[in-house]
Amino acid sequence: MNRAIKIILILVIASITGCYYDSEERLYPKLSNPCDDTVVTFKSTVSTILQSCQTCHSNSNSSSSGNGIRLEGYSDVKTLVDNGKLMGSINHTSAYPMPKGGGKLLDCEIAQLQKWIDGGSLNN
């Protein structure tokens, strides 16, 4: 092959392989179950997240296995929000990380709880 044809062939191959394009949607697909923190309420979000905590922290179990801490109703949760113990335990930054002996809640759940607190921790 002569030199000019080789150069043209190299330029054609380089231009074809060098022009790579992908859409943002293909490169970064949306999660199938994204974290929705647009509307966070006590009734539909917070109480649902804290439901599993009631194994130890319900009104009937709090004295035996939950150190007297209850998470069964709004007033119980609001007390822990106001004194900072809820998020300290959930974020594992307090002396009593929860759940005891377990990993942290999902990042999405922690973000939803924090959004509810930042919004005034309303009884809604």
Per-residue pLDDT of the chain (124 residues), as tens digits, is 688 788 887 777 766 655 455 555 555 555 556 788 789 999 999 999 999 888 888 777 666 556 778 888 999 999 999 999 999 999 999 988 988 888 899 999 999 999 999 999 999 9
Residue 84 domain flag: yes
Supply the DSSP string of 41-82, one letter for each residue: -IIIIIHHHGGGGHHHHSTTTTTTTSTT---SSHHHHHHHHH
pTM beyond 0.75, yes or no: no
Residue 95 domain flag: yes
The number of folded domains in the chain is: 1
- Which range marks the domain in which residue 71 is found? 42-118
Residue 21 domain flag: no
